[in-house]
A and B are shown apart, each in its own frame.
Chain A
Amino acid sequence: MRLITHNMLSCNIKGVTNGYPLGIEASRLETKESELNPEFLRKIFPKLEWKALRDAAHSLGLNDLPEHVEPSMLEDADFLKNFHHALLEVHLEEGALICPETGRRFPVTKGVPNMLLNEDEV
């Protein structure tokens, strides 16, 4: 699971109002290199929750993302490299996603998060 996917996921247990972003517990990470596409990064940037991405990256030991992004940074090669790496190259293979409100753990196995709810949670 990449952080681009983490950025889309929230806890949807009935009654939870503050289910985003999910915390991350990482038992196994993998880095898989992929081609950097600046156009794609510029296009996706406005759709992301930047703080959620930055905090998630931080929890995985990636500390290169700035707190605030100026538009000019999207033209800067170093920024794009760090952005690309955090968003797309780091994969959570084993671990869990944690609901910030209830603490409920959604396990991640072989890179696949299991977001299925129990009967009493729907």
Chain B
Amino acid sequence: MKLKQLESYLGDVVQFANPKIELEQYPTGPHIASRMLFMAESSYGDIDGKVVADLGCGCGTLGIAALLLDAAQVVGVDVDGDALLLAHENCNELEVEMELIQASLTHLPWRGPIVDTVVMNPPFGTRCKGADMEFLAAALKVAGTAVYSLHKTSTRAHIKRVAVRDFGATSAEVLCELRYNLPASYKFHKQREVDIAVDLWRFTTS
């Protein structure tokens, strides 16, 4: 599947009608999601035929993108039951199928090395401090091969240090820098939309 086609399909994913502020429920738009997954597959072969986990899957965008790029199995994990319902509907709409689990990443009910690749767009830690690092720690425990994740560019040095020194990553590389366009989803957003600089990271675990 070509990148443009993937981006187009992901445009059909329905986003949160009432995003929950405390969970930082920003949707991952089709532009970023398609580029992230396309790169993971075309440069590293981390999607096709693999078991992929989408941690903090929200409405399911990244997991669905993985399925469209022929992941063998995709598991989406989220703490919010409403998000999981929406993810389920989106899967039906796009005629793909994803396993879904309601769980907290701080207490992951996980056993074993079944997952190859983790893809995620974790909270940036603006509402719940440290959430971004919690997600990263969990991802590095779960992934057999690689983790693809988005983090604010301003945290770059910190992430690299902690991922390798504390969370067991065998490598940590920024693949590219993206502009994340956040529309004014919450009432307290003063501007209509805001652009923040985020890094697309690839961490390896083996």
Contact = CB atoms under 8 A, between A and B. Distances in A.
A81 to B, nearest CB: 17
Contacts of B109: 9-12, 19, 115
B114 A48 contact: yes
B104 interface: yes
B102 A116 contact: yes
Contact of B101 (A5, A10, A12): A5
Interface string B83-115: 011001000000001011111101111111111
A29 interface: no
Size category of the B interface is 20 to 34
B112 A8 contact: yes
Contact of B114 (A1, A7, A37, A122): A7
B100 A111 contact: yes
A87 to B, nearest CB: 9
A112 B114 contact: no
Contacts of A49: 111-112
Interface string A30-70: 00101001011001100111000000000000000000000
B98 to A, nearest CB: 10
Interface residue SS majority, chain A:
loop
A5 B99 contact: yes
Contacts, number: 79
Contact of A5 (B75, B102, B106, B144): B75
Task: Give the one of B81, B99, B108, B109 with max A CB within 10 A.
Answer: B109
Interface string B107-128: 1111111110000000000000
Interface residues of A, number: 32
B79 A8 contact: no
B51 interface: yes
Contacts of A32: 97
Interface string A1-20: 11011011111100000011
B111 A9 contact: yes
A112 B75 contact: no
B69 to A, nearest CB: 15
Task: Give the one of A4, A8, A10, A110 with max B CB within 10 A.
Answer: A8
B144 to A, nearest CB: 8
Contacts of B72: 37, 40, 44
8 shortest interchain CB distances as A-B pairs: A115-B103, A10-B111, A115-B109, A114-B102, A12-B109, A5-B99, A112-B100, A40-B72
Interface of A: 1-2, 4-5, 7-12, 19-20, 32, 34, 37, 39-40, 43-44, 47-49, 88, 110-117, 122
10 contacts: A2-B99, A4-B99, A37-B49, A111-B88, A111-B100, A112-B88, A114-B102, A114-B103, A115-B103, A122-B106
